[in-house]
Structure 1
Amino acid sequence: MATGLSAVKLEKAIMNLEARLREEFRKDLARQVAKQMQPYAQQMKALRSQVTGLSSSVESKSIPCHSVEPNAGNEADAADFVQVDLDRMLEGEAHDQKPQAQPFVSIELDDSFEEKGSASLSVGTGAGGAARAGAVQEVVREVAQAAMEHHQATIESLDDELGKPGEEKYLKERSLGSLPGDVVEEPVAFLETAWNLVLVLGHTDSGQLDLAIACFLWLASGLMQISFFLILLSEDFLGEPFGKQVEVAKAWRESIAHDFKHMDLGDESLVSRVCRGDGTLILSTPQMQMLDQINAFIGLGKADFEAPYFQPGVLLCMMCILLWCLYLLNEFRQVVFSLEAVSQLPRGPRTQWRRRGSFQTISYGRFAIYCFMRLSRFMIAVGLLYAGVQWLAGTISITELILNAVALSAVLQIDEMVFAALMPKKIQICIQDLEAIKVPYSKGRSQAESIMLLVGITCLMLWPWMYNVGPLSWDMIEVKRQYCGGTQNFVVADNQLQGITAGLVTSEYADQSDHLNQTSLIRFAVRRHIWQEPLGTSNYIRFGKDRADFVLAKEISMYHRNVHDSLCIDFDEIFLGNATHELQEFYRPYFYSASFEAGFPDGASCAEMAHLCSSLEPSARLVRHVCPRTCGCHLQHANPMLKLVGEGCSSACFTERDTAMRFTACEDVDFEESPHLREEWEVFWDSYRPLVEQRVGVNLSSPSLSFLPDFLAHVKKVGCPGLDIVTMDPVTRSPWCSGSSLFYAPLAAWCPQTCGCHTSAALTEWCPRSCEGCKDTAIFPTNLPVSDCAQAHQLGLCEALPVQAAVLCAATCDACSALYNNGTIV
């Protein structure tokens, strides 16, 4: 027997084969009998003709003489006279009875023959008529007896030729032809499970140990399935409802997702990396995996938030649930069919067997226990149906759905596996020998059952869709929106000293291929040091001498770096020329890093990097730091935008600038006479608007600043006098003359007269020193070997250092002649 053929299919195949064999045997037997009866059928027809003639002759007082020999010209159909009862024949064979005791072939004369014969026999009068009637009857008896003897011999020869019919259990069944036309019989087999143990218990001729083991296995298989049901529904197994992930996503997004500590080396926020599925990510990997599962389940792209029409995970989930429901519907039908089949057995006080595997009667107690066990199996199946649907509907991984469905199907096969692997063999054989019971199945019942199954499977599919799978897909989209919706490209940090939240706009990710191919400075420096540079020596990495030096290099700001910088030189002369400097190794990573940001990884001259001198980008700080002279950090009338210590210009350059301004005129710049300076002036005012919008985040189109665009255009045109119209920067709230410590240098260097430097009794720190006149400085530097001008004059420093003497001690050193216009302020 094929391993894939179930018991029900086998019973159906046997039943259909039996029906075909019966029909073929009947037809073949009828053909053989008809062939042998042909001569007798002709004699019967001839006899009928004689009877008819005899009747007419009796009336006319004359008896014609007719022959009863077969007449080839008057052949009759044997089927009109011969009737074969195959069921009676098979029943007789089954009871080992002789065919003569149970006649199954008969010859029937038609009504007209018998009526006419009897009429003719009754018409005659006297002894002559009676004699003629007796002669006719004798002829009929002789012909019929000869025909029956010949028929019996024919059947016996057919038995030898065709063989006996099949096994005993099929001979006992009534013929299919006796059923109504719209009714068929469905054989219900007893499956090989421990649940059928009660049917054979006490009739297996097994030992006590086998019976005890069998009962234990039945109880264990049921408890195992109940345990699976309880485990599947436990919160530890199912987990929390997926809808709660919405709050988890909110908490993650509002906490570590935008934490500046989790930016990568390319200044990309953590949430941006998670949402695009960065494979190099080592933080928040569970969130990234969940987003990957959501995208695969719903069929979303990484940047999509609207569910498409085709959702592969939802479809696959419903198909797996359908598969599981079909498993259970089949189980329900088997339970119902088995109960219906057993209910057709006669019931009595004791269980009796017709033969091995065939019930004659079943006891009331055994029937009740069997019904209870089958109903228990039904309830366990209902529980497994609910638990399985909940488990499948809660599976968010599209790759695990089919595996879970297959795993669930194995739970239903626990009975069969326990039966096949552990059930004692003697009890196995007894259960396997149970004969199938045929259940009548009408056309009306089939249609009603089909409607019930259709309604049932429809309800079973609507239930998980409305309460599980549909809400799950909506929750998935909401979870993804909480994780990745809105603005991603910013990070924040908490300034507890000021009680504010500081933020930074991070770089925006464009494309995965661009990300893999793009090279930030830090990644370039790392890659280059990995493969091309000796350990601890690099053009792009400043290696610290120890951990403290490393921490200092990592955290020191550009402002603190430049405050203590005593150099104001362009370093391209050192690294690209033949010059040397004792601090060139210290400045090496600064110079090459600036070259990289300018687009020249292998080094660039300051002239090639000059376009970044007034740039608002943070990377331009390095250019101003290594090329301060090219960027004009030491000049009085250079573009003041970002010419600050914190923006790259060293304090040495500002000292040089202040010294130079001691010898210039204390006058406003005349842009008519200096057109090259007008260009620098206009560039500054053109840079002001993008500066405050990018660095401060102020929208100059707001109503409170609506006047500012007109002011910018006016001051560009008229020069220094325009500063009298609006003396304060409306954004930074500081005077234009004093500048902004964060954004631009003091404009008093350009417009000292407009700023009132020439009339001030006490010169402010942001005014040019030339407006001080021929006076000693009010604030003597503390980093010099002398404490005041008198001590410097006493030590003879006025003659030794004439420039410094004119700058600091013009009156004491009598150095006014070195100043512009002899230090006279006009």
Structure 2
Amino acid sequence: MVEAAAEPILVVEDPVARAEFDAAIRRLEKRMEQLEMQLRPVPVPETSLPDTTVLGNSQPHALRICEAIVGDEGEVSDAPGEDAELPEQTSDQIQFGESVWSLPLVLDFRRFPLWDSIFAMLLFIVNLGMQAMFSSILLSDNFADAGVQVEEERENARRWRVSIAHDWRYMDLSETSLVTRVCQSDGALILSTPQAELIDQINSFLGLGPGDFEPGFLQPGIFLCSICILHWGLCVYKEFRSVWLALEAVIMIPRASQSTIIENRLSSLSTPRLVIVLMSFVLRIAIASIMLVAGVNWLGRTTSITELMLNAVALNGIMDVDELLFAGFIPVSVRQSVRRLEPVKMKYSRSRSQCESFGLCLLLGATILVPYLLYLEPLTAGMVSIKWEMCGGNQTFVVANNPEVQQIIGYKTQEARNDQEPTLSEIAVDRHKFQEGGPPEYIFFSASRTLFSADIDEDMGGASARVPSCIETEMLSPGAPGYGDPIFSPILHARMRSALVSLGQPPGTSCEGVAHLCSRPDARLLRLLCGDTCGCTDPFSSPWHKVPSQGCSNGCNIRTENILATQPCEDQPRGDVWKEFRDGYTAALSEFYGTNVSEVVIWPMASDILRQLEVTGCSGLGVPELQVEMISQTPWCQGHDRLFRPLAWLCPRSCGCVEHPSSHCPVNCKANASG
């Protein structure tokens, strides 16, 4: 038996031909995959598979497919796939929206029940009236001028700043001015709350801190406002595009003497119906245009983030009125007729698509850029200027007008509230607010409203004159005659606590424990209560502040004069008292005049006088050039009733009290002269 000869195997030995063969195979595989994806043949049962030799064709079925793909030259033919270019023209289907505005296309008294037609027509009129009313309201002055009016608010801020913000009557117990409290968003404010709310709005809108006046890159309000304006623009542009597409679709519908709908398809439109439809399109465009401009103006002037969100939602709701009426009130027969309308096919070219994309890109950019330049950038600058008028510059002062001397009196306040270091008034209120019994720890209660007003206006000179005794030696010291008095002791201890706390000392400290503070200019109450410790009863102590207006009581001064009466009318030897007198010079005069006297022009000469007196002692008072304190122009020997007692108490002979005793001379010198 002869075996059949084996079929020869094609072997490609040429390397170039082999590479071309492999490339052709890869192209063939790629085309096969594309063809398989596009054809997606439905699987059929095996019994129905076609015979590979149908119609006498002995070639396999797969081979015929390959021949269809591969040409005579062995090249792979083009087939639709991923690399295929888009056609020059394409079609789209325009569906009329489910809106009240679509009613003119289908509404016909012959096709629908009478009441359905009448009610649908009324809803169309209601929709038109509502949107027209909304448009007129948005164009009214109340909405056109909504938001912050920069010029008006800036003027209001200026008037508030110069008339109320620095008024001393509105300074709180922590000695913080009203403008400081407003600009630092003090939550305890009961005055100027509109100004505080405006500052809070500006800070939150621009992302500013209490002391910032330059907005950073991220401004929450501006960013959110841009998004809301863009969102509103997109809502209106959607309306524009719907109208434009509907207009194109209506134009494509044939004209006839009568409008007809055949199998849910608008077959023809009559001229009167076409006019009504076109008029509805014009009204939609007009209303949308008005609402676009008015809405952007409204949003661009809104300065509250919360109101901005609410306004954006409200505007979007206005645009949806037609759809809400359609979904909620249109009769079922009319609604189904609109829903079942077949879309109108439209053809679009590639060039039109590109032009439309380019135009929409420009429109999107203009929607972001134009409102920012017209509204948001000026709004930012205006809000910063308003805040500067209200909070810029120096906040830490209050003023009062003294009409008697025709002078404006100022007082420097705290830079900010410090709850960690409360003032004496705050401590007094805090300790007494829940106290149910016992004497108050810090507060001295007046017996009547008249006395209350008098006690508020009383100065230390009046208080010292009303004290007939030297409090420390006669009432506060153990063993004193008035020590432990049930009436006066609680009052004096409350004052002692106030004096200590105001000087930064613990409330329970005794007079001896604060002796080093007696020379401070602001220790007036301490000198009133601790007169003996503070030197009010020592005629030869440093003369600074040893006068009634600085706290030395009338009773202590009487004790001092009694001590002087027992002393000879002679100058005291030069000692430490002159050094103390010179050391307290700058602080005493600076406190009295409310400014640093060491910066005045004549300070070198004034301080040189006291330096020479420290060296010479009492004998220097005999030199004419050294006899007068240069800044206050007060003779040293006579003293100053609000600064220092007469140096004649230290130097009676050098001050001429022996030969010519006067009112400022010690009592002993007057007695010697009369004797």
Q: 1:498-518 CA distances to partner (integer Å, 9 max, x unpaired)?
A: 2211111122326xxxx2332
Where 1:758 maps in the other structure, the secondary structure is coil
- 1:231 corresponds to 2:231: no
Query: Alignment RMSD, CA only?
Result: 3.3
Report the residue type matching 1:322 in the other structure. Answer: L
Corresponding residue of 1:214: 120
Report the residue type matching 2:229 in the other structure. Answer: I
Task: Measure the CA separation in 2 of the matches of 1:252 and 1:334.
Answer: 51
Corresponding residue of 1:8: none
Task: Measure the CA separation in 2 of the matches of 1:197 and 1:768.
Answer: 112
- 1:613 corresponds to 2:518: yes
Which of residues 227, 231, 235 is equivalent to 1:323?
Answer: 231
Report the residue type matching 1:685 in the other structure. Answer: Y
- 1:558 corresponds to 2:463: no
Structure 1 residue 773, shift from structure 2 partner: 4.4
- 1:303 corresponds to 2:211: yes
Q: 1:606-637 CA distances to partner (integer Å, 9 max, x unpaired)?
A: 011212211123xx121111101111112222
- 1:665 corresponds to 2:565: no
Structure 1 residue 296, shift from structure 2 partner: 1.4
- 1:431 corresponds to 2:334: no
Report the residue type matching 1:610 in the other structure. Answer: A
Corresponding residue of 1:314: 222
Which of residues 641, 646, 650 is equivalent to 1:750?
Answer: 650
Q: 1:460-488 CA distances to partner (integer Å, 9 max, x unpaired)?
A: 22222112111111122222222222111
Corresponding residue of 2:99: 193
Structure 2 length normalisation: TM-score?
A: 0.83
Structure 1 residue 339, shift from structure 2 partner: 0.8
Corresponding residue of 1:6: none
Structure 1 residue 600, shift from structure 2 partner: 4.6
Which of residues 540, 543, 563 is equivalent to 1:640?
Answer: 543
Q: 1:758-809 CA distances to partner (integer Å, 9 max, x unpaired)?
A: 343xx43222233324355xxxxxxxxxxxxxxxxxxxxxxxxxxxxxxxxx
Q: How many residues align?
A: 614
Q: Is the Cα contact below 8 Å between 2:496 and 2:507 reproduced in 1?
A: no
Q: Is the Cα contact below 8 Å between 2:540 and 2:649 reproduced in 1?
A: yes
What are the within-5 Å matches in structure 2 for residues 95-106 of structure 1?
Answer: none
User: Runs of 5+ in structure 2 lacking a partner?
Assistant: 1-37, 69-84
Structure 1 residue 376, shift from structure 2 partner: 1.3
Structure 1 residue 273, shift from structure 2 partner: 1.3
Q: Is the Cα contact below 8 Å between 1:571 and 1:626 reproduced in 2?
A: no
Where 2:347 maps in the other structure, the secondary structure is strand
Highest relative contact order (Cα 8 Å, sep 6+), 1 or 2? 2
Which of residues 387, 392, 413 is equivalent to 2:294?
Answer: 387
- 1:714 corresponds to 2:612: yes
Bigger Rg, structure 1 or 2: 1
Task: Measure the CA separation in 2 of the matches of 1:260 and 1:712.
Answer: 37
Structure 1 residue 39, shift from structure 2 partner: 6.9
- 1:72 corresponds to 2:58: yes
- 1:653 corresponds to 2:559: no
Q: Is the Cα contact below 8 Å between 1:242 and 1:394 reproduced in 2?
A: no
Q: 1:444 to 1:497 in 2, by over 3 A?
A: same
Corresponding residue of 1:520: 423
Structure 1 length normalisation: TM-score?
A: 0.69
Q: Is the Cα contact below 8 Å between 1:639 and 1:683 reproduced in 2?
A: no
Q: 1:420 to 1:677 in 2, by over 3 A?
A: same
Structure 1 residue 243, shift from structure 2 partner: 3.9
Report the residue type matching 2:345 in the other structure. Answer: K
Corresponding residue of 2:313: 406
Corresponding residue of 1:734: 634
Q: 1:688 to 1:434 in 2, by over 3 A?
A: same
Structure 1 residue 561, shift from structure 2 partner: 1.4
Q: 1:712 to 1:678 in 2, by over 3 A?
A: closer
Q: 1:574 to 1:772 in 2, by over 3 A?
A: closer
Task: Measure the CA separation in 1 of the matches of 2:462 and 2:605.
Answer: 37
Structure 1 residue 416, shift from structure 2 partner: 0.8
Q: Is the Cα contact below 8 Å between 2:431 and 2:441 reproduced in 1?
A: no
Q: 1:300-344 CA distances to partner (integer Å, 9 max, x unpaired)?
A: 111222222222221121111111111112221111111111111
Which of residues 657, 663, 668 is equivalent to 1:765?
Answer: 663
Most deviating of 405-414 and 227-236: 227-236
Task: Measure the CA separation in 1 of the matches of 2:345 and 2:604.
Answer: 96
- 1:344 corresponds to 2:252: yes
Structure 1 residue 587, shift from structure 2 partner: 2.4
Q: 1:164-195 CA distances to partner (integer Å, 9 max, x unpaired)?
A: xxxxxxxxxxxxxxx99232222211111111
Q: 1:75-118 CA distances to partner (integer Å, 9 max, x unpaired)?
A: 999999x9xxxxxxxxxxxxxxxxxxxxxxxxxxxxxxxxxxxx
Q: 1:677 to 1:216 in 2, by over 3 A?
A: same
Task: Measure the CA separation in 2 of the matches of 1:331 and 1:576.
Answer: 93
Structure 1 residue 450, shift from structure 2 partner: 1.3
Q: Is the Cα contact below 8 Å between 1:204 and 1:430 reproduced in 2?
A: no
Q: Is the Cα contact below 8 Å between 2:546 and 2:645 reproduced in 1?
A: yes
Where 2:430 maps in the other structure, the secondary structure is helix
Q: Is the Cα contact below 8 Å between 1:37 and 1:78 reproduced in 2?
A: no
Q: 1:447 to 1:757 in 2, by over 3 A?
A: farther
Report the residue type matching 2:494 in the other structure. Answer: P
Report the residue type matching 1:612 in the other structure. Answer: L
- 1:593 corresponds to 2:498: yes
Structure 1 residue 534, shift from structure 2 partner: 0.8
Which of residues 539, 543, 563 is equivalent to 2:441?
Answer: 539
Report the residue type matching 2:164 in the other structure. Answer: I
Where 1:421 maps in the other structure, the secondary structure is helix
Which of residues 369, 374, 383 is equivalent to 1:467?
Answer: 374
Q: Is the Cα contact below 8 Å between 1:566 and 1:652 reproduced in 2?
A: yes
Structure 1 residue 729, shift from structure 2 partner: 3.3
User: Runs of 5+ in structure 1 lacking a partner?
Assistant: 1-22, 43-69, 83-178, 777-810, 812-826
Corresponding residue of 1:580: 484
Q: 1:712 to 1:306 in 2, by over 3 A?
A: farther
Q: 1:424 to 1:738 in 2, by over 3 A?
A: farther
Structure 1 residue 203, shift from structure 2 partner: 5.7
What are the within-5 Å matches in structure 2 for residues 132-531 of structure 1?
Answer: 181-202=87-108, 205-237=111-143, 238-239=146-147, 241-355=149-263, 357-509=264-416, 515-531=418-434
Report the residue type matching 1:684 in the other structure. Answer: G
Where 2:598 maps in the other structure, the secondary structure is coil
Q: 1:403-423 CA distances to partner (integer Å, 9 max, x unpaired)?
A: 322222111111111121222
Q: 1:201-222 CA distances to partner (integer Å, 9 max, x unpaired)?
A: 2266234433333222222222
Where 1:623 maps in the other structure, the secondary structure is helix
Most deviating of 551-560 and 381-390: 551-560
Task: Measure the CA separation in 2 of the matches of 1:488 and 1:306.
Answer: 18
Most deviating of 452-461 and 662-671: 662-671
Where 1:609 maps in the other structure, the secondary structure is helix
Most deviating of 425-434 and 716-725: 716-725
Structure 1 residue 227, shift from structure 2 partner: 2.4
- 1:622 corresponds to 2:516: no
Where 2:408 maps in the other structure, the secondary structure is strand
Q: 1:597 to 1:696 in 2, by over 3 A?
A: closer
Q: 1:477 to 1:321 in 2, by over 3 A?
A: same
